[in-house]
Chain A
């Protein structure tokens, strides 16, 4: 079946540091890939997405590139802010497109 694996957390960075959160997946066919973010006490909201190989999703300074050859969708940001502190989830849609499968989530804390 489909699965998503994220790098183990939690991750703690200083403000303006470079962020990478690794995400790899196992899926049949050509899934769509997503990053969701969960701020404290809230539900998940979409951060960015990519629907085919070599697509780059970007939003709020975050980027991720759909790499089919390495089955990866790593999240990056060049300079994190305290307000980026949250839990980040990598996810994929099955090829049939009905179900989202999530990774375990990575807690990010950014200190001033």
Chain B
């Protein structure tokens, strides 16, 4: 299917466990992004990537790791999950052409207990 897909849609994990959220896009967009959405904070950028093997920190990177070995995939790993990482996570992608829109996945609702 064309588009951008995130998996899983829902995840419950325990404090201290490692968890990976997956993001896959079919457009070969060079830019990909991870945001978290929390009440009162809107969307905050965690990490982004301008191309395969190029990643950079966003506003709230602590506790997260990303990789981009292939253009179409941009997984986000919580190395040791904490309750403060309970959130809804959105992946997005866009082309490098200036001013073009970003396309968002449907989100992953992560609960850390």
Contact = CB atoms under 8 A, between A and B. Distances in A.
A3 to B, nearest CB: 11
Interface residues of B, number: 22
A49 interface: yes
Given A51-B99, A103-B42, A104-B41, A98 B105 contact: no
Nearest to B94: A100
Interface SS of chain B: strand
Interface in A21-52: 32, 34, 36, 41-46, 49, 51
Given A49-B99, A99-B45, A99-B48, A104 B104 contact: no
Interface of B: 31, 33, 35, 40-45, 48, 50, 58, 90, 92, 98-99, 101-102, 104-107
14 contacts: A32-B99, A43-B107, A49-B99, A49-B101, A51-B99, A97-B98, A97-B99, A98-B48, A99-B33, A100-B45, A103-B42, A104-B42, A105-B42, A105-B43
Given A44-B104, A102-B35, A102-B44, 13 more contacts: A32-B98, A42-B106, A43-B106, A49-B99, A89-B43, A93-B98, A98-B50, A99-B33, A100-B45, A100-B102, A102-B42, A103-B42, A104-B40
